[in-house]
Amino acid sequence: MTDTTTVPQTSIDADAVTAVAQFLAPVVTDLTALYVDGKQAHWHVRGANFQAIHLLLDEVVEHAREYADTAAERVVALGLPLDVRIKTVGEKTTTPALTAGFQQSDAVIAEIIAEIDATLVTVRTAIDELAELDAASQDVAIEIARGLEKDRWFLFAHLSK
């Protein structure tokens, strides 16, 4: 019989595991906030380019969900739990609040870009701090940064003149 309460074996020491979680947990929190707010924006966007932005926001939301899952799975694979219940996310996210209700697409895009930018600050902190702790965990953060920067670029293209 397998003991399912045993912490998984890992090649990094317990202190490093705790530090990894310290830097990846806020990434998961901010990405979860981006996911929820992105879906809210998706439902409430208005304007001449509604369909394009509506569909693009669905992609951003799906990416944020995937990135959060990747970071969370890294922490859990190292044997530590996460708390990303919606109440906790609301209390701990560093992302700015999204305006409620219907909005024109340019306002929605600007707000989602601001959320991506805030999340990227958290992700870049993780990248810097994980460099000395665990290359595999740092690689997770680098992958997330690359994806968020691409999503930001796609959104920003709709605002640039």
User: Residue 6's pLDDT is what?
Assistant: 46
Which pLDDT belongs to residue 14? 85
pTM for the full predicted model = 0.92
Distance CA 18, CA 142 (A): 19
Long-range contacts of residues 86-92, Cβ cutoff 8 Å, at least 24 apart: 86/36, 88/29, 89/29, 89/32, 89/33, 89/36, 90/33, 92/26, 92/29
Q: What is the pLDDT of residues 27-68, one digit of tens each?
A: 999 999 999 999 999 999 999 899 999 999 999 999 999 999
Output the six-digit token pair for 43.
Answer: 């439902």
- List the Cα angle 3/8/10 in 5-degree steps: 150
Confidence of residue 161 (pLDDT cuts 50, 70, 90): confident
* CATH class of the domain whose range is 14-156: mainly alpha
Over the stretch 129-141, which tens digit does the pLDDT of each residue have?
999 999 999 999 9
